[in-house]
């Protein structure tokens, strides 16, 4: 089980954003709590695409707390694995 942060660098105002995903919902929200990301910002909650968009400073905190750094293309494999494991396709986020 793991939490992942990708190398995406989308511009959002003055910030650069990336994605944070995990093998389980519990791991994802625990890391969000650890790095100070409000749970209300979760996207696609309850689906195989469940993730947070986080700024680079939060990414650094996640890595320091044990998140694995991955390329954005690797997130596709993670999502596919979660979908095959039975995570729903349609979310509420």
Q: What would the pLDDT profile of 10-48 be if each residue is shown by its tens digit?
A: 998 999 999 999 999 999 999 999 999 999 999 999 999
Give the domain range for residue 47.
Answer: 3-63+72-84
Q: How many independent structural domains does the chain possess? A: 1
> Does residue 29 form part of some domain?
yes
Q: At 57, list the tokens.
A: 């400073």
Q: Which candidate, 40, 38, 42, places its Cα nearest to that of 53?
A: 42
In a domain, 93, yes or no: no
Q: What is the pLDDT of residues 62-74, one digit of tens each?
A: 999 999 999 999 9
- pTM of the prediction? 0.88
pLDDT computed for residue 89 by the predictor? 64
The pLDDT value recorded for residue 9 is: 92
Q: Return the residue matching tokens 């979760």.
A: 42
Give the total residue count for the chain: 93
Q: What's the pLDDT score for residue 92?
A: 42
91 found inside a domain: no
């Amino acid at each position: 089980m793991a939490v992942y942060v990708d190398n995406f660098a989308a511009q959002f105002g003055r910030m650069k954003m990336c994605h944070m995903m995990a093998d389980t919902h519990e791991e994802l929200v625990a890391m969000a709590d650890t790095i100070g990301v409000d749970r209300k910002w979760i996207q696609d909650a309850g689906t195989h695409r469940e993730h947070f968009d986080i700024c680079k400073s939060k990414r650094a905190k996640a890595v320091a707390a044990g998140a694995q750094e991955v390329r954005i293309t690797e997130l596709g494999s993670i999502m596919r694995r979660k979908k095959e494991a039975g995570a729903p396709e349609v979310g509420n986020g």
